Amino acid sequence: MSGHGDDELAGQGLVAERYRPVRLLGRGGMGVVYEAEDTLLGRRVAVKLLTAVEGLSEDNETLSRFRREARALARIDHPGVVTLYDSGVHEGTPYLVMQVLDGMSLADLVAATGPLAPAAVCSVALGVAAALAAAHEAGVLHRDVKPSNVGIGRDGRVVLQDFGLARLAGESVITRTGVLIGTPQFIAPETIRGVLPGPTADLYGLGACMYLMITGELPFGETMDVGAVVERALGVGVPRLSGRELPYPADLRQLVDLLCAQDPGDRPALASTQSRLEHLAGDGTDTLAGLVALHIRADAVHTALAPRPSVIEAPEYDWAEARPGPPPEAAQPGPFRPPTLSDATRRIVLSSMTPQNALSRQREAVNLVLRGELREAAQMLSVIVPVCLSSLGLAHPTTLTSQYWQAVCLARLGAGGEALELFSRVNKHVGRRTDGTDD
């Protein structure tokens, strides 16, 4: 699977003859992550292709290492660690199959809200620390603790993902390919220097995440210059929070400073970190759940009620117009940046959508609604409905049913007024069909 570009994957079909990619979730130095359908068990999964080390053969030592490390990951049994379902090699490229999280990443949450309340900061940090404790006990280091790897569910639960990719791939391969494992904004200084990281390197990443949650800023500023970030990380280090006028307990600010210490020996132990956070967390889980629910609802409302192009005037759906913008001001506490669909996803959907498979996709979305996975249902319906409007028409039963379930999804997300508006749209067209006034 050389390159694994979006077009290639669209034409490739199933991964490992089992997993059908649905949409792009993310891309980084180590590989690419897709939401996929497990065609054997009929469930949604995340498939990560480690494209940085593609081209493995059965007698490759890296492949043996990958299998050993995947087994180690699978032994981690903790609610704060993303579940690994399967692993293997597809056409020379290692892959991992994991659970899909219904919520948003810490990176997206801070981008949407700015700095978090003290209790929320401590709840996220405590969740990450608990996940790290379970992993370290199993002999697995994370090596890339950063906000995009911290998921927050609709119930406020914190889940850490993307464990141990450096070990999975093998350090020697990473060195040869020139891939830096970790994000310089959050990677420990000793790791940047080439020292084999220990457990305290993960604690540094936790501290840097806490810095972001408290300040709303990256530790080394908004710059794309990796060299400048590395220079600051190895030089002045993460700016200290102690002594600054911030609405956060002094103990919390001091803990962040200690976790971000340049010398690994100066960082507190994981058990000590957990103990200090437990005293400060309070009702942070409820706060997190409320924030996630607010932004999932705002995104769902926007995508469901955005103006649709005329089917007559635009026989092919204008994806540029449909790209989500900011939600209504009333539901927007900060600079909300909703996710957009990848071009590959649009092409996959548009090139393959027929009345028959539109109905199949609709059923998948309905199952998501019924299981309570509302954000994913809303995202799937935001693709299905425009395609149905364009290719099937306003009054087609599949179009109307998809819009009906969009309304159900909005209602369950707490957007009652917007749900009623969408229900009324559907009922208007249903009335026309039953009255014989609409073809």
* Active-site residue, 102 included: no
At the topology level of CATH, where does 6-98 sit? Phosphorylase Kinase; domain 1 (3.30.200)
Closest CA to 273 of 245, 291, 246, 252: 252
**Quick check: 83 and 99 in contact, CB under 8 A?**
yes
Alpha-carbon distance of 125 to 147, in angstroms, equals: 11
Q: Which amino acid is at 54?
A: E
Closest CA to 407 of 425, 389, 390, 392: 425
DSSP of 395-414:
T-HHHHHHHHHHHHHHHHTT
Token pair, residue 158, equals 């914190």
Position 157 scores a pLDDT of: 94
- For 219-237, the pLDDT digits (tens) are 998 877 788 888 999 999 9
Which whole number is the average pLDDT over 360-381?
A: 81
Best-predicted range by mean pLDDT (28-37, 71-80, 125-134, 277-286): 125-134
Count of H helices and E strands in the chain? 18, 8
- For 383-416, the pLDDT digits (tens) are 788 878 877 788 888 888 888 888 888 888 888 8
103-282: in CATH 1.10.3720.10: no
DSSP-derived letter for residue 283 is: T
Q: Considering the chain, what percentage of its residues have pLDDT values greater than 70?
A: 77
Per annotation, catalytic residue among 144, 162, 257, 299: 144
* pLDDT band at 317; cut points 50, 70, 90: very low
Rounded to the nearest 10 degrees, the angle between the axes of helix 199-215 and helix 118-137 is 170
Which whole number is the average pLDDT over 197-226?
A: 92
Position 293 scores a pLDDT of: 87
More confident residue, 393 or 246: 246
Position 436 scores a pLDDT of: 52
Q: Strand pairing partners for 114?
A: none
Alpha-carbon distance of 323 to 313, in angstroms, equals: 19
Domain boundaries, the chain: 6-98, 103-282, 287-435
Position 265 scores a pLDDT of: 96
Q: Please check if 146 is assigned to a binding site.
A: no
Q: Residue 98 pLDDT more than 50? A: yes
Position 331 scores a pLDDT of: 34
> Can 6-98 and 103-282 be said to share one CATH topology?
no
Contacting residues for 155 by C-beta, under 8 A, at least 6 apart? 285, 289
Q: Considering the chain, what percentage of its residues have pLDDT values greater than 90?
A: 36
